[in-house]
Amino acid sequence: MHNPRTILSHSDLGTLFATLHAEGRHTIGPTVRDGAIVYDRLIGPDDLPTGVVDEQAPGRYRLRHEGTRRFSWSVGPQSFKRWLHPPELRLFRATRTERGFAVEKPEAPPPLALIGARACELAAMAIQDRVFLGDVVDPHYASRRRDLFIVAVQCDRAASTCFCPSMGSGPRVSRGYDLSLTEVVDEAGHRFVVEIGSEAGRALAAKLPLHAATTDADAPERASAEAEAQIARRMPTDGLREKLLGAVASSNWDDVASRCIGCANCTLVCPTCFCTTVDDVTTLDGTHERVRRWDSCFHPDFSYLHGAGPVRSSVGARYRQWLTHKLATWHDQFGTSGCVGCGRCVAWCPAGIDIVAEAERLAEDA
């Protein structure tokens, strides 16, 4: 696709929102809440972070004010997973009738536009596509994914927890988006270099007050290079699958278990973890609802078998299941790694357990 780069001035961000709203879309994107950048429904550009940057380390996340940029931060605790694969979803409702029962399906969700998706987010979506749109299609994910419009943002800054280059997932946004923005702030003003990634993106761009990019045309590459230069953390991906599967009896699992609380936060913040449980709920009048909720392989009930109890009864066994699935057997199941290098499991582990450091030690063991 011929891809001429254009400029959207910062003062025209509102037009981007209005154009997406005119298509009937809800705009979902970053906003500051309770000391973190979370994704929520946005009304307009005023809801975006302004001059907020993040500092991340294992078990630690802080925001501070710096500059005037809207997107100069790395990913926060949430991923766009919660909008495509919601944490709690009513699958159906059934009510008794005279001759049996009537089933009512949930309302179709409104079409969404995701604003500010980074390369690792898009890589995670591509992985969840393989999970939910593979041999067995999940209709709930499919209905949210189908009409999605994605406004990606090129990272120009990285957190200490980021390791996307070693997972081959970033920092450059190169596919899976409709429009991408690179933020530029200098003497000439505050603006975004716009790249078009799809026909839908081209159609939307035609409705925006864009002008030709002259000196800024290489801004996306420069931003990515700047972000990549800040990334020191590297997953040792070479032969990692074989090494981890060869280390199932390693004493390192007991070592990590001694530091692991077993709280499941790593799986809950992971943008590719997809496990759920299903609960049947009834109301007093006999209305029945079936609800699907995020679950985790760290929960004791997750592997509970009648008569046998939890199959993975120790925290070490659960951590091993998570790590070997994410980094090794995911390849066998879905043809990719399950990790995109976003670093959320590192930053949001209360105990600061670092998946990269653990993988390194286990790989050495093999």
Residues 302 and 298: their CA atoms lie apart, in Å, by: 7
Between residues 12 and 40, which has the closer beta carbon with respect to another protein?
40
In whole angstroms, the minimum distance from the beta carbon of 124 to another protein comes to 16
CB 163 within 8 Å of CB 232: no
Between residues 85 and 243, which has the closer beta carbon with respect to another protein?
85
> Would you call 353 helix, strand, or coil by DSSP?
coil
The H helix count followed by the E strand count for the chain is 14, 16
In whole angstroms, the minimum distance from the beta carbon of 99 to another protein comes to 20
CB 320 within 8 Å of CB 248: yes
Residues 79 and 114: their CA atoms lie apart, in Å, by: 11
Residues 258 and 166: their CA atoms lie apart, in Å, by: 28
Cα R_g (the chain), whole angstroms: 22
The one-letter amino acid code at 4 reads: P
Which single residue is written with the structure tokens 């409104």? 110
Cβ count within 10 A of residue 60: 15
Between residues 41 and 175, which has the closer beta carbon with respect to another protein?
41
Between residues 34 and 238, which has the closer beta carbon with respect to another protein?
34
In whole angstroms, the minimum distance from the beta carbon of 45 to another protein comes to 22
Q: Is there a cis peptide before residue 350, judged by omega within 30 degrees of 0?
A: no
Between residues 18 and 351, which has the closer beta carbon with respect to another protein?
351
Residues 127 and 262: their CA atoms lie apart, in Å, by: 25
> Would you call 173 helix, strand, or coil by DSSP?
coil
Nearest to 222 by CA among 167, 154, 168, 162: 154
In whole angstroms, the minimum distance from the beta carbon of 301 to another protein comes to 5
Residues that bind another protein (CB under 8 A): 33-36, 38, 59-62, 77-78, 82, 87-88, 258-265, 268-269, 277, 279-286, 293-296, 299-301, 315, 347-348, 350-351
Between residues 250 and 296, which has the closer beta carbon with respect to another protein?
296
CB 262 within 8 Å of CB 318: yes
Between residues 345 and 362, which has the closer beta carbon with respect to another protein?
345
> Would you call 26 helix, strand, or coil by DSSP?
strand
In whole angstroms, the minimum distance from the beta carbon of 92 to another protein comes to 16
DSSP 222: H
In whole angstroms, the minimum distance from the beta carbon of 136 to another protein comes to 24
In whole angstroms, the minimum distance from the beta carbon of 318 to another protein comes to 8
Between residues 183 and 295, which has the closer beta carbon with respect to another protein?
295
> Would you call 325 helix, strand, or coil by DSSP?
helix
Residues 30 and 38: their CA atoms lie apart, in Å, by: 5
Between residues 16 and 264, which has the closer beta carbon with respect to another protein?
264
In whole angstroms, the minimum distance from the beta carbon of 263 to another protein comes to 3
In whole angstroms, the minimum distance from the beta carbon of 293 to another protein comes to 7
